[in-house]
Amino acid sequence: MRAEVPAEATVEWSFMPKGESEFTKIYSYEDLMSDTPDERFYERLDWKGSKKTKDLQDGSIYILNVTWNDTGTYRCIFTRTLTFSSFKFHNDTTKIVHLNVVPRLTRGIASILSEVMMYVTIVGLQVWLVVEMIYCYRKISAQGEEALRESALKNGSKRQIALDSPSTLLIFTPSSIMTPSHYPIQEDKQPRGLSREQMDEK
């Protein structure tokens, strides 16, 4: 079974300003200790690589309070040493980073107008939605009231016919038809001839 090989790594950062031709060492990290020999970057470099280990896997750094003078080329030399029982193996890896400092991005008028239009559109859609909901509610309510009114009118006409029907039928019932015995007896007002007994009495 092969055991894990002990390893250690160191990181060295150098900087070549724009327009110059030589690199200057600005930062190093070794044995869990960091060093910033260049006064231009003093207290402006922060280690963001591997921590709490000598076998480094990441050698990143942060540049704080960036200025125009930080424009240039940065070089990172990553040296890793593997320790075997009889010898040591060194492996160097170099990375180049080109940094160009630009002015801080400011919002243009087009961006501001786009944001304002976005908010106006959102508010407008919300207002339109509220108006549409109120309109639909009133329309449905009016249709419901109209249906109730028509239903009430239909029911009222049916009840009127039902109430009128008995009086109409009573007129034509047999009990309402006058029989001869119900006719009033009228006295004959025309003079009649006197009988013989009446003439003798006179």
pLDDT over 70 at 198, yes or no: no
In the predicted structure, residue 177 carries a pLDDT above the cut 80: no
Q: pLDDT tens-digit profile of 31-77?
A: 899 999 999 999 999 999 998 898 899 999 999 999 999 999 999 99
Domain ranges of the chain: 7-99, 106-166
Question: With contact defined as beta carbons under 8 Å apart, do 114 and 125 qualify?
Answer: no
Which of 128, 108, 107, 110 has the alpha carbon at shortest distance from 118? Answer: 110
φ/ψ of residue 3, rounded to 5: -85, 160
Q: Which amino acid is at 112?
A: I
User: pLDDT digits over 147-159, tens only?
Assistant: 888 887 877 665 5
Smallest CA-to-CA distance from 49 within 38, 57, 41 is with: 57
Amino acid at 106: T
Superfamily (CATH) of domain 7-99? Immunoglobulins (2.60.40.10)
pTM equals 0.51
Q: Give the C-alpha separation, 143 to 148, whole Å.
A: 9
Per-residue confidence (pLDDT) for residue 80, from 0 to 100: 92
Q: What distances in angstroms separate CA 4 from CA 22, 24, 32, 34, one per listed residue?
A: 39, 36, 21, 27
CB 74 within 8 A of CB 96: yes
